[in-house]
Amino acid sequence: MRLHSILRTMTKLLMPPIMLFGLYVQFHGDYGPGGGFQAGVIFAVAFILFTLIFGPTRARQVAPEWVTTPMCAIGVLLYAGVGVATMLLGGEYLNYNVLAHDPHHGQHMGILLVELGVGLTVWAVMVTIFLNFVERHDHAALDPGDGAEDGHV
């Protein structure tokens, strides 16, 4: 990819706006279309673009395994943890009314935390899946014992 300077430059220019847009979608899910899922996917798309242009080894330097794999679980734990926290504060599981001094603020807080958890998990899982698919390609290329690459053409 060393010769494709247009692609490399455009990727470097595009990645920050994509991530910014992902954050915007995450936090403005209350006021317009958006929310955790869309934001996680858009954020992951920035990393996928980086992997397509610069290769999986450099992508692993940006998103190493010790970050992406635990992050898959941290999102789910955050979501379930909000439910446990509401139980400890006196309400039922996932009853956001008890999270703050009045129900309106409690609901706002609960939705914010929950969507954050969803966004984290979706981002981590999408990046993990894609990088595993790409790294399998390198693994298969080094191990030529499993038949031709281009099957029936």
- Residues in contact with another protein by the rule CB under 8 A: 25, 29-35, 37-38, 41-42, 44-45, 48, 69, 72-73, 75-76, 79-80, 83, 94, 96, 103-104, 107-108, 110-111, 114-115, 117-118, 121-122, 124-126, 128-130, 132-140, 142-143, 146-147, 150-153
In angstroms, give the least distance from the CB of 131 to another protein: 10
How far, in Å, CA of 102 to CA of 107, rounded?
9
Taking the least distance from each CB to another protein, the nearer of 5 and 79 is: 79
Taking the least distance from each CB to another protein, the nearer of 52 and 62 is: 52
What is the per-residue DSSP string for 33-97?
S--HHHHHHHHHHHHHHHHHHH-HHHHHHHS-HHHHHHHHHHHHHHHHHHHHHHHHTTS-TT-GG
Taking the least distance from each CB to another protein, the nearer of 9 and 132 is: 132
Taking the least distance from each CB to another protein, the nearer of 62 and 95 is: 95
The secondary structure of residue 2, as a DSSP letter, is: T
How far, in Å, CA of 84 to CA of 137, rounded?
42
- Scan for tokens 């703050």, then name that residue: 100
